[in-house]
Amino acid sequence: MRDYAGLAAFIALNAAVSALGGWATASSVGTWYPALAKPAFNPPDWIFAPVWSALYLMIAIAGWRVWRRGGPELRGALTVYAVQLALNLSWSFVFFGAREIGAALAVIAALLAAILVNAFLFWRIERAAGALLAPYAAWVAFAMVLNAALWRLN
């Protein structure tokens, strides 16, 4: 039962980050964001919700798998996990809430670095957990390029 309660807690944590980010995004996604000049490679708006839903579930499962394993490296790995979730959330507030595209670029660069460190630390504890963060890192790397293009164009 403890394992399932742990999984539920990790899913709830990631759902909370997603919901708070969605709340920050809602103020701009229908007004400010559509008015921005966008690069040709900007994905359609409908793609973001399903991609982020899948990524948050993978992030939750990765964290849970490492938590289940325990060990001396757990504290550091979960600290970095918390940092990357905080940076993930803060990007939504900076980009969509404050509408600061340049500052959001700095946040997303830090987020990508934190994800890569997190994936490495998770990989050392359990390879599957580290691998589960790879799509997240790839999507955030793409989002960073998109953020940079939006900053340049606007």
Q: State the CATH number of the domain containing residue 142.
A: 1.20.1260.100
The mean pLDDT value for 95-108 works out to 98
**Domains identified in the chain, total number:** 1
Q: Are 147 and 104 in contact (CB under 8 A)?
A: yes
Residue 112 scores a pLDDT above 80: yes
pLDDT value of residue 139 = 98
CA dist., res. 101 & res. 32, Å (int): 12
Output the pTM of the full model: 0.95
pLDDT value of residue 71 = 86
The mean pLDDT value for 48-54 works out to 97
Per-residue exposure over 71-109, b if at least 16 CB sit within 10 Å of its own CB, e if not: eeeeeebbebbebbbebbbbbbbbbbbeeebeebbebbe
Strand spans (E) along the chain:
none
Percent of the chain past pLDDT 70, that is, above it, reads 99
The domain of 71 spans 2-153
Confidence of residue 70 (pLDDT cuts 50, 70, 90): confident
SS3 40: coil
Confidence of residue 32 (pLDDT cuts 50, 70, 90): very high
Q: Are 87 and 116 in contact (CB under 8 A)?
A: no
CA dist., res. 62 & res. 58, Å (int): 6
Residue 113 scores a pLDDT above 90: yes
Contacts of 21 (CB under 8 A, 6+ apart): 88, 89, 91, 92, 93
